[in-house]
């Protein structure tokens, strides 16, 4: 059993005073707002009932989703929360306040709180600095209303777009997931809110893209693909909490996996925060995995493995009292977790908080929130194709068409309050302003253009009765903007989101038929895809009767409609890039650009796994030239090398390029990917302006698990290139890693450093 890291004398003093019941109370949560509305898997089968005052007689570790279960005014709820915290301090024997946790994947999941783009949009923006600012704004709101821990970010690496939770993920590349997720952690925690990394680990590799399905994952792929983002967020971001994955890996449920939760996480990486269970995951050891015969046995397995706190309630951990008294669980094991929980409360300032006065004015969607939401949404829009119709050239009449064109809900992800909670409360106002694409485009084009609207079809279903009217409206217009895609929801309510896994990657319902019918009208069509996953839309990219332009937006949030209007009208040049490969079909999945030779297309199979568009693809309203990639000729394994590339805006519009540095390790002791993103950086350039982008790359970016599963950097030849995506080598060079094999340790560098030297446009012209 791992010895707990030293805690303060105060924390040890509290522990010494505690009864067994008081200790166990600190290791569970209580869900105050109890209802029949499902906001977690199989919640109805669990013991979420009970009287609140009875449940907190001995204190309580967590209060579960005080704001995020039903629509309630934040000021009213804060007043209740402050009073309850005062009562816990005054009326429980030891006077320890509760830690309050909430979902915060796209912003604080509370009524009237700002809703930002979904994490897949963070990945499309490739802007860690902006995501850090967003995290800080979210954290500020959370702390203002008395929330201490956020259940985000999701660091699962996208493997299969059929999986419903893809919109919660950042990218299919581990380094992009790690750098952007770490930025969010830093932002949230600098505001005084602890981030919770989830889902540790391997969750997104579920069989056939089905939620909660088994994971068939080799130790090497787990170590090289799924674990690095978590290690980065802990070592570089200082994340203070981790949540286990629901899944089982090769038959071992993660909630009972001591090798992961203690051996790697704590002993290997030095993590000293708290591990919390995903909702009901401890009880699932008995009911879904059947590795425990009772709740008490499930609790013992989870506690031994390293789960400190059971969320959202004490369904299993409260049974530990009997396990201790029967001699099946040593009380020292409980003490280990209690010290961690009390240490976290001390770190957050809870042990000294008096909760005197609750805030009387609360604005969870202020000007800063909206500015950041709009900027992140705009940066995340990906221009997939364009024959010149975009940006719009002052049309006099625009037909806005499609099921997502005039829907605010369509802009939100599964874990937005709008789709997660308000869907159960029809008629309740959204509480925040969410301009639709239709409204925002009309505003952006102004009085010079007439904007008409026709829904055409629903997101789901086979009703084609509205398509004819949509085609008629397109014929009367100069251009048609057709907005299609997903509707996020939970467990069968929607087309994407937790529990909404699919067998097909065709656009839901009859949306493809709607687009094709409008294209056949002869009016130029801009197809806007607002989704939580990438779909198989090769027909729209390269088909004979394709739209004139295609834009991809991954649930862009409350300012997503405005951001899309900015891009369509030309006020903003698109700068988003695909954080996931655009799939050819469901049958070609799972697929990642980060594959070995045998993972790609070849002459020995008739099945083509080549994506329609590759990872990193994204067009602009200008053109860029990437040239003169240079790098050190050789570098010793374990050291860092330098590379530089020249980027020039060769068009007539200011825009931002995403500089992508890729590598291929030509020969390895185990198979290596044909392409691997080493580093990336956004560079804004005026027309004619150029810049030299300099990378300092630790060779650990090329580390992998060797034959004996030890993480190593191996000597050998490496190809380097920069291009507009992983698949295009616009400028190339090579280097040699020399010296002995370098075993990777926790002291090795993880991050690539980037510097930019600019040359003004006038100097370029003179040169």
Residue 554: closest CA among 107, 115, 122: 122
What are the CA-CA distances from residue 321 to residues 17, 30, 54, 62, 88 (Å)?
A: 17, 18, 17, 19, 22
In the chain, residues under CATH classification 3.20.20.300 are: 17-352
pLDDT of residue 32: 87
Longest dimension (CA), the chain: 85
| CB count in 10 Å sphere of residue 604 | 6
Asked if residues 107 and 139 have their Cβ atoms less than 8 Å apart, the reply is no
Asked if residues 314 and 29 have their Cβ atoms less than 8 Å apart, the reply is yes
Rounded distance between C-alpha atoms, residue 618 and residue 413, angstroms: 22
Rounded distance between C-alpha atoms, residue 115 and residue 107, angstroms: 5
pLDDT of residue 589: 82
pLDDT of residue 43: 54
Rounded distance between C-alpha atoms, residue 354 and residue 347, angstroms: 15
Residue 546: closest CA among 514, 516, 521, 502: 516
Q: Which CATH number fits domain 624-766: 3.60.20.10, 3.30.565.60, 2.60.40.10, 3.40.50.300?
A: 2.60.40.10
* Cis check: omega of the bond before 4, within 30 degrees of 0: no
| CB count in 10 Å sphere of residue 593 | 24
pLDDT of residue 1: 39
CATH number for the segment(s) 17-352: 3.20.20.300
The sign one gets for the Cα dihedral 380, 207, 41, 241 is negative
For 206-211, the CB contacts below 8 A with 24+ separation are 206/160, 206/163, 206/247, 208/160, 208/162, 209/160, 209/161, 209/162, 209/163, 209/164, 209/501, 209/502, 209/589, 209/590, 210/162, 210/163, 210/501, 211/41, 211/163, 211/164, 211/165, 211/498, 211/499, 211/501
Domain spanning 383-599: CATH 3.40.50.1700 = yes
What are the CA-CA distances from residue 641 to residues 232, 275, 738, 757 (Å)?
A: 20, 36, 12, 18
The partner residues of 138 in beta bridges, in order of sequence, read: none
Q: Residue 53 burial (CB < 10 Å; 0-12/13-18/19+)?
A: exposed
Rounded distance between C-alpha atoms, residue 158 and residue 203, angstroms: 10
* Per-residue 3-state assignment (H helix, E strand, C coil) for 82-113: HHHHHHHHHHCCCCCCCEEEECCECECCCCCC
Q: Residue 670 burial (CB < 10 Å; 0-12/13-18/19+)?
A: middle
In the chain, residues under CATH classification 2.60.40.10 are: 624-766
The partner residues of 728 in beta bridges, in order of sequence, read: 725
- pLDDT mean by block of 10 residues, the chain; 767 residues: 66 96 97 65 53 82 95 96 96 96 98 98 98 98 98 97 97 98 98 97 94 94 97 98 97 98 97 97 97 97 98 95 96 97 97 95 98 98 97 94 98 96 94 98 94 97 97 97 96 94 97 98 98 97 94 98 98 98 89 91 86 97 98 98 98 97 97 97 97 98 97 98 98 98 95 93 54
**Each residue of 690-735: pLDDT tens digit?**
999 999 999 999 999 999 999 999 999 999 999 999 999 999 999 9
Rounded distance between C-alpha atoms, residue 93 and residue 764, angstroms: 73
Residue 204: closest CA among 153, 138, 160, 235: 160
Rounded distance between C-alpha atoms, residue 306 and residue 507, angstroms: 42
In the chain, residues under CATH classification 3.40.50.1700 are: 383-599
pLDDT of residue 660: 98
The partner residues of 731 in beta bridges, in order of sequence, read: 722
């Amino acid at each position: 059993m791992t010895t707990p890291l030293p805690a303060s004398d105060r924390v040890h003093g509290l522990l010494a005073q505690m009864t067994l019941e008081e200790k166990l109370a600190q290791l569970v949560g209580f869900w105050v707002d109890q209802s029949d509305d499902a906001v977690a898997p199989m919640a109805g089968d669990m013991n979420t009932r009970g009287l609140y005052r009875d449940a907190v007689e001995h204190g309580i570790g967590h209060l579960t989703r005080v704001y995020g279960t039903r629509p309630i005014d934040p000021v009213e709820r804060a007043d209740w929360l402050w009073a309850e915290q005062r009562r816990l301090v005054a009326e429980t024997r030891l006077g320890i306040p509760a830690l309050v946790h909430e979902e915060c994947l796209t912003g604080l999941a509370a009524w009237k709180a700002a809703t930002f783009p979904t994490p897949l949009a963070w990945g499309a923006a490739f802007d860690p600095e902006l995501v850090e600012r967003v995290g800080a704004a979210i954290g500020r709101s959370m702390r203002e209303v008395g929330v201490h821990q956020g259940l985000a970010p999701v660091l699962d690496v996208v493997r299969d777009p059929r999986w419903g939770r893809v919109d919660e993920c950042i990218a299919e590349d581990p380094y992009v997931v790690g750098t952007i997720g770490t930025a969010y952690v830093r932002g949230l925690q600098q505001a005084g809110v602890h981030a919770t990394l989830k889902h540790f680990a391997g969750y997104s590799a579920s069989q056939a893209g089905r939620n909660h399905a088994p994971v068939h994952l080799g130790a090497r792929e787990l170590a090289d693909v799924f674990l690095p983002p978590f290690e980065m967020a802990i070592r570089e971001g200082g994340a203070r909490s981790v949540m286990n994955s629901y899944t089982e890996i090769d038959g071992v449920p993660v909630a009972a996996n001591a090798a992961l939760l203690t051996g790697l996480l704590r002993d290997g990486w030095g993590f000293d925060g708290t591990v919390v269970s995903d909702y009901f995951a401890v009880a699932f050891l008995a009911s879904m995995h059947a590795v425990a015969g009772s709740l008490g046995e499930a609790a013992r397995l989870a506690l031994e493995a390293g789960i400190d706190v059971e969320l959202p309630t004490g369904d299993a951990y409260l049974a530990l009292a009997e396990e201790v008294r029967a001699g099946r669980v040593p009380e020292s094991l409980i003490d280990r977790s209690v010290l961690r929980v009390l240490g976290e409360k001390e770190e957050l300032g809870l042990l000294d908080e008096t909760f005197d006065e609750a805030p009387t004015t609360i604005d969870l969607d202020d000007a800063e929130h909206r500015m950041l939401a709009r900027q992140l949404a705009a940066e995340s829009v990906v221009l997939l194709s364009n024959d010149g119709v975009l940006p719009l050239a002052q049309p006099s009449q625009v037909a806005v068409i499609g099921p997502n064109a005039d829907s605010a809900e369509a802009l939100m992800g599964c874990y937005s309050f709008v789709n997660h909670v308000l869907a159960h409360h029809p008629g309740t106002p959204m509480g925040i302003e969410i301009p639709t694409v239709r409204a925002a485009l009309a505003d952006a084009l102004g009085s010079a253009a007439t904007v008409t609207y026709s829904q055409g079809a629903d997101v789901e279903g086979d009703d084609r009765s509205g398509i004819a009217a949509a085609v008629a409206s397109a014929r009367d217009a100069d251009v048609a903007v057709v907005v299609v895609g997903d509707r996020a929801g939970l467990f069968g309510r929607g087309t994407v989101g937790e529990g909404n896994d699919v067998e097909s990657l065709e656009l839901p319902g009859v949306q493809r038929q709607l687009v094709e019918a409008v294209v056949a009208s002869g009016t130029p069509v801009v197809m806007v895809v607002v989704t939580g996953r990438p779909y198989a839309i090769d027909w729209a990219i390269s088909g004979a009767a394709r739209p004139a332009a295609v834009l991809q937006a991954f649930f862009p949030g409350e300012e997503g409609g405005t951001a899309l209007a900015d891009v369509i009208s030309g006020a903003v040049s698109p700068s988003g890039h695909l954080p996931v490969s655009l799939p050819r079909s469901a049958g070609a999945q799972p697929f990642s650009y980060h594959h070995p030779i045998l993972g790609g297309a070849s002459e020995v199979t008739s099945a083509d796994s080549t994506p329609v568009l590759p990872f990193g693809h994204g067009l602009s309203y200008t053109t860029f030239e990437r040239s003169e990639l240079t790098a050190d000729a050789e570098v010793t394994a374990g050291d860092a090398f330098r590379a530089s590339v020249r980027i020039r805006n060769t068009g007539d519009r200011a825009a931002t390029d995403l500089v992508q540095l890729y590598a291929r390790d030509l020969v390895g002791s185990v198979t290596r990917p044909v392409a691997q993103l080493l580093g990336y950086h956004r560079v804004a350039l005026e027309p004619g302006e150029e810049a030299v982008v300099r990378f300092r790359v630790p060779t650990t970016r090329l580390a992998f698990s060797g034959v004996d599963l030890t993480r190593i950097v191996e000597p050998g030849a490496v190809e380097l290139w920069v291009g507009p995506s992983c698949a295009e080598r616009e400028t190339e060079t090579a280097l040699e890693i020399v010296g002995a094999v370098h075993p990777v340790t926790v002291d090795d560098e993880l991050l690539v450093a980037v510097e930019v030297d600019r040359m003004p446009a006038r100097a370029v012209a003179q040169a």
